[in-house]
Amino acid sequence: MGPLAADGFGPAETTRCWRVPPLDNLYCLAARFETYEFSTHAHDSYGVAVILDGAQSFRWRGTTQLAPAGSLEVMNPGEPHDGRPAGTSFAYRTLYPSVSLMRELAAELSDGRVSEPVFDRTVIHDPPLAKRIAAMHRTLEASSGRLAQESAFVGVMSALLWRHADLKPAARTAGGEGPLVRCLRDYLDAHVTQDVSLADLARIVQRSRYTALRLFRDGTGMTPHAYLLNRRVERARRALASGCSLADTALDFGFFDQSHFTRVFKRFTGLTPGQYRRAGDIVQDLLAGST
């Protein structure tokens, strides 16, 4: 057992997820994984996790990273990574604040000089802050009321930004790929639901199929196929959170059937679409109750 309580997670794999409407519909996850491995993926949002128990191993920027109990794991938007237990299992609490939410906090802390904060380290050893993030996460789960949720989030995330993010003017962004890779990304983003071929990508950049594949993989850390699946899952997540049905979402975003949708979705998120959809139902119930 690490320095943080594992919040009653037993030895078996378990997941809980929910959203916090007042914080730009913030997505939160609490889970223990034993054997489950995340495929290489990236998020539109930031990712901030506190490891409660065990340790997680993952690939990030071409290196293998280890996040032990009591540490923080932070991801910039768009950064490819995977994940697996380093040992028998790991338990964590994680949240995915939107770029706009983090921009607002960074602007407040830097007097408007920072457009987007950047983290140069993905594993952060800051035990006091890890405990504060775990406590904040529990507050968000308890639905303690808007003021309690916003106060906990703003206070703790501001400390994370102030202590560990790049808040200098004109901070770097996570991308850095050249114009050809951006062109390929734009094409894939515009054709998420279509059956794109490698020949299509080669034609876009006027290179061979091998060169197009290598350019994209070297520039993004993902193959074009993995990137396309990741974008489909990200859009499916938003659709499910807004109340779309599983069948319609699977059809609308280019999956062969619901079985295929479930397999791919869980590979990238650790949850089934049904589990994620139920979190969206909770949000709708909360919004309905507040009117």
pLDDT at 9: 63
Write down which residue in 126, 143, 164 finishes a domain. 164
CATH number at residue 44: 2.60.120.280
Q: What is the 3-state secondary structure (H, E, C) of the chain?
A: CCCCCCCCCCCCCEEEEEEEHHHCCEEEEEEEECCCCEEEECCCCCEEEEEEEEEEEEEECCEEEEEECCCEEEECCCCCEEEEEEEEEEEEEEEECCHHHHHHHHHHHCCCCCCCCECCCCEECCHHHHHHHHHHHHHHHCCCCHHHHHHHHHHHHHHHHHHHCECCCCCCCCCCCCHHHHHHHHHHHHCCCCCCCHHHHHHHHCCCHHHHHHHHHHHHCCCHHHHHHHHHHHHHHHHHHCCCCHHHHHHHCCCCCHHHHHHHHHHHHCCCHHHHHHHHHHHHHHHHHCC
Q: Give me 163's structure tokens.
A: 């202590």
- Per-residue confidence at 2, pLDDT binned at 50, 70, 90? very low
> Is 3 a domain residue?
no
Structural domain span for residue 182:
176-221
- Per-residue confidence at 275, pLDDT binned at 50, 70, 90? confident
pLDDT reading at 289 higher than 50: no
Q: Evaluate whether 136 touches 152 at the Cβ level (below 8 Å).
A: yes
Q: Which residues, in sequence order, are bridge partners of residue 49?
A: 73, 94
pLDDT reading at 85 higher than 60: yes
Rounded-to-integer distance, Cα 56 and Cα 85, Å: 5
Mean pLDDT check: name the lowest of 56-60, 108-112, 129-133, 233-237. Answer: 108-112
pLDDT at 208: 87
pLDDT at 80: 93
Mean pLDDT check: name the lowest of 35-49, 187-201, 233-247. Answer: 233-247
Residues 49 and 94 in one domain: yes
Residues 118 and 18 in one domain: yes
> Is 151 a domain residue?
yes
Q: Evaluate whether 201 touches 216 at the Cβ level (below 8 Å).
A: yes
Residues 180 and 158 in one domain: no
pLDDT, tens only, 214-232: 899 888 888 899 999 999 9
pLDDT reading at 285 higher than 90: no
Neighbours of 225 (CB within 10 A): 13
Residues 34 and 111 in one domain: yes
Residues 35 and 105 in one domain: yes
Residues 239 and 211 in one domain: no
CATH number at residue 249: 1.10.10.60
Q: Which residues, in sequence order, are bridge partners of residue 29?
A: 17, 94
Kindly give the interhelix angle for 224-241 and 179-190, rounded to the nearest 10 degrees.
Answer: 50
> Is 171 a domain residue?
no
pLDDT, tens only, 169-227: 644 444 446 899 999 999 999 999 898 999 999 999 999 888 899 899 888 888 899 99
Nearest alpha carbon to residue 157 among 113, 226, 78, 97: 97
pLDDT at 13: 78
CA 176 to chain centre: 19
pLDDT at 204: 92
274-289: average pLDDT: 58
> Is 231 a domain residue?
yes
> Is 30 a domain residue?
yes
> Is 5 a domain residue?
no
Domain count, the chain: 3
pLDDT, tens only, 125-146: 999 999 999 999 999 998 778 8
Residues 45 and 97 in one domain: yes
Residues 188 and 113 in one domain: no
> Is 96 a domain residue?
yes
244-270: average pLDDT: 88
Write down which residue in 132, 164, 196 finishes a domain. 164
- Per-residue confidence at 7, pLDDT binned at 50, 70, 90? confident
pLDDT at 283: 41
> Is 8 a domain residue?
no
Residues 232 and 212 in one domain: no
Residues 138 and 244 in one domain: no
264-284: average pLDDT: 76
- Per-residue confidence at 256, pLDDT binned at 50, 70, 90? confident
Residues 64 and 140 in one domain: yes
pLDDT reading at 6 higher than 70: no
Rounded-to-integer distance, Cα 237 and Cα 273, Å: 8
256-262: average pLDDT: 87
The distance between the two most distant Cα atoms of the chain, rounded to a whole number of Å, is: 57
CA angle (2 as vertex; 150, 92 as ends), nearest 5: 45
Residues 154 and 78 in one domain: yes
